[in-house]
Amino acid sequence: MAHQAHAYHMVDPSPWPLTGAVAALLVTSGTAIWFHFNSTILMTLGTMLLLLTMYQWWRDIIREGTFQGHHTPPVQKGLRYGMILFITSEVFFFLGFFWAFYHSSLAPTPDLGGCWPPAGITTLDPFEVPLLNTAVLLASGVTVTWAHHSIMEGDRKPAIQSLALTILLGFYFTFLQGLEYFEAPFTIADGVYGSTFFVATGFHGLHVIIGSTFLAVCLLRQIQYHFTSEHHFGFEAAAWYWHFVDVVWLFLYISIYWWGS
Amino acid sequence: MAALGRLSQALLRSSLTQSRRQLSASAHDHGEQSARTWKILTFVVALPGVAVCMLNMYLKEQSHSHEQPEFVPYSHLRIRSKRFPWGDGNKSLFHNPHVNALPDGYEGHDE
């Protein structure tokens, strides 16, 4: 049997990068076709392929790391760099939408009434549901930290409980935001206010859902004894992502909900 | 930019050194206290904070008027340069007939 004289992971050939690329093509072009030709088949097919790709690719990574021992310290370090770089790219993604918001709100044009919020827009009270949402996400940051320390100290049950509590708080946030979206007296089609509001908070909400899913996967893995007190990078990555989501919300709350009201 | 590099270094270092610190946790007790600290913070600060905000919401809801906002046919609102790709193309994804007027006014009302 061949052995490697280094600590790095030479990954086996895998079809998932290709299926992922095909899925990306189908989702994007499918969405354009939906908009113009009223057919959803390509977009749906692309989404299913994307979900299958994600499931199988990440399942394989778990197999390689947790069961086959390929995630040595140098490999883990590389994964850490990767997650940090990814989150950094997401920071820039949101930066763009904040740029758009401030561009429009710092110098409101005459057609809006020369004021911000624009004439005719009834904004949401920042001290009602948005404040509750802030408390919910901040609390979830505390609970995920409790979970991390529990994992590091080998406390299985508290780790499971605190992680589950974190996910529940995430669901509660999503539920509250959904309610807000439905109750809002303005829509995405209400000029630049509506566009900046729903695109920025909408992408944030999508990231909350992604983060909650990531944490849920970690919960299942913790229950199945994947994590050790020394090696649990999947959880750390999920926790970093979750803190990032929390920080983005804080900026959204201060800028759009509070200052922009 | 440099700060970002330093932040990533700190993240890398802290996670790795934390695991290394844990190896000596048996030698002294402070390692076992951290989870307990965050558990206390959860039940004394974080969750009560959420409860207070929920109470605040409940109280504010009661003193609310549930009036429909007045309809003024502003041209910079209710933009329909392209129809929505669902339904009749005139309603947003989270359309609420009670608070979201269509370009001609609220549904089911005659202005």
Nearest C-alpha neighbor of A247 from the set A134, A82, A103, A142: A134
pLDDT (0 to 100) of residue B1 = 54
Residue B49 domain-assigned?
yes
Domain over A1-70 is classified CATH 1.10.287.70: yes
The token pair at A56 is 């199988």
Whether the per-residue pLDDT at A68 is higher than 50: the answer is yes
**What is the ipTM for the molecules in this complex?**
0.90
pLDDT of residue B33: 78
Total structural domains in chain B?
1
Chain A nearest CA to B75, separation (Å): 8
- Has residue A5 got a pLDDT over 50? yes
Is residue B89 situated within a structural domain? no
Q: Is residue B75 part of a domain?
A: no
**B94 → closest Cβ in A77, A84, A181:** A181
Query: C-alpha B36: how far from its chain's center?
Result: 27
Confidence of residue A3 (pLDDT cuts 50, 70, 90): confident
Residue B110 pLDDT = 46
Query: What pLDDT is stored for residue B13 in this prediction?
Result: 46
- Domain membership of residue B51 (yes or no) is yes
Query: Per the CB < 8 Å rule, is A230 touching B22?
Result: yes
Alpha carbon of A145: minimum distance to chain B alpha carbons (Å): 7
Range of the domain at B36: 31-63
In a domain, B23, yes or no: no
Q: Which residues of A touch B11 (CB under 8 A)?
A: 80, 84, 240
| Number of continuous H segments (helices) and E segments (strands) in chain B | 3, 0
- A138/B41 CB distance under 8 A: no
Pick one of 3.90.1640.10, 3.10.400.10, 1.20.120.80, 3.10.580.10 as the CATH number of A72-258.
Answer: 1.20.120.80
pLDDT digits (tens, 9 = 90+) for A8-56: 999 999 999 999 999 999 999 999 999 999 999 999 999 999 999 999 9
The predicted structure's pLDDT at residue B76: 96
Q: How far is A148 from chain B (nearest CA, A)?
A: 8
B41 found inside a domain: yes
**What pTM did the predictor assign?**
0.89
Q: Which residues contact B53 (CB under 8 A, 6 or more apart)?
A: A131, A132, A134, A135, A136
Subunit contact A118:B94, Cβ cutoff 8 A = no
Whether the per-residue pLDDT at B16 is higher than 60: the answer is no
Report how far residue B36's alpha carbon sits from residue A194's, in angstroms, rounded to the nearest whole number. Answer: 44
Chain-chain contact of B57 with A188 (C-beta, under 8 angstroms): no
pLDDT at B9 over 90: no
pLDDT category at A67 given cuts 50, 70, 90 is very high
- Residues A128, B60 contacting (CB under 8 angstroms): yes
